[in-house]
Structure 1
Amino acid sequence: MGALDGKAVVVTGAGRGLGAAYARLAAAEGAAVLVNDVDADLAASVAAEITTAGGRALAAAGTIGTWDGAGEVVARCVEAFGAIDGLVNNAGIFRLADPAVQDPDEFRAVIEVNLLGTAYCGLHAIRAMLAQGSGSVVNVTSGAHAGSAAMGAYGASKGGVASLTYCWAADLLGTGVRVNAVSPNAHTRMADAFEAYLGAAAQGQNVHKPPEQNAPAVVYLLTDAAAAVHGQVIRIDGDELSMIAHPVVQGHGAQDADWTVEKVAAAFAAGTVGPISAVGLHRAG
Structure 2
Amino acid sequence: MNADTAPRGRLTGKAIVVTGAGRGLGAAYARLAAAEGASVIVNDVDGGAAASIGAEIGAICDDSDIATWEGAGRLIETCRSAYGRIDGLVNNAGIFHLAHPREQDPAEFRRMIEVNLLGTAYCGLHAIRAMLDQPGGGSVVNVTSGSQAGSAAMGAYGASKGGVASLTYCWAADLAGTAVRVNAVSPNAHTRMADTFERYLGERARGQNVGKPPATNAPAVVYLLSDAAAGIHGQVVRVDGDELSLMTHPGVAMPAVRMPAWTVAAVAAAFDDELARRQQPLGVHRGIDMNGVDMNGAAGA
Q: Does the alignment reach a TM-score above 0.5?
A: yes
Deviations 1:192-224 (A, max 9, x none): 000110011213553431100000000000000
Task: Tell me the SS of whatever aligns to 1:197.
Answer: helix
Q: CA RMSD in A?
A: 1.3
Q: Which residue of structure 2 aligns with residue 49 of structure 1?
A: 56
Matches within 5 A, 1:239-250: 239-250=242-253
Does 1:189 pair with 2:192? yes
Task: Tell me the SS of whatever aligns to 2:16.
Answer: strand
Which TM-score applies when normalising by structure 1? 0.95
Which TM-score applies when normalising by structure 2? 0.90
Task: Tell me the SS of whatever aligns to 2:133.
Answer: helix
Q: Percent identity?
A: 70
Task: Say if 1:254 and 1:273, in contact at 8 Å, map to a contact too.
Answer: no
Counterparts of 1:190 and 1:239, CA distance in 2: 20
Q: Which amino acid aligns with 1:90?
A: N
Aligned length: 277
Counterparts of 2:161 and 2:22, CA distance in 1: 20
Deviation at 1:14, TM superposition (A): 0.1
Rg bigger for which structure? 2
Task: Say if 2:14 and 2:38, in contact at 8 Å, map to a contact too.
Answer: yes
Does 1:220 pair with 2:227? no
Does 1:19 pair with 2:26? yes
Runs of at least 4 residues off by over 3 Å: none
Q: Which residue of structure 1 aligns with residue 107 of structure 2?
A: 105
Counterparts of 1:220 and 1:76, CA distance in 2: 24
Unaligned runs of 5+ in 1: 52-56
Deviation at 1:270, TM superposition (A): 1.2
Deviation at 1:4, TM superposition (A): 0.3
- Distance change >3 Å, CA 89–CA 96, structure 1 → 2: same
- Distance change >3 Å, CA 85–CA 281, structure 1 → 2: closer
Deviation at 1:139, TM superposition (A): 0.1
Counterparts of 1:207 and 1:267, CA distance in 2: 44
Give the alignment partner of residue 64 of structure 2, picking from 39, 57, 62.
62
- Distance change >3 Å, CA 273–CA 251, structure 1 → 2: farther
Counterparts of 1:261 and 1:138, CA distance in 2: 44
Q: Which amino acid aligns with 1:84?
A: I
Deviations 1:55-76 (A, max 9, x none): xx10011210000000000000
Task: Say if 2:46 and 2:63, in contact at 8 Å, map to a contact too.
Answer: yes
Q: Which residue of structure 1 aligns with residue 289 of structure 2?
A: none
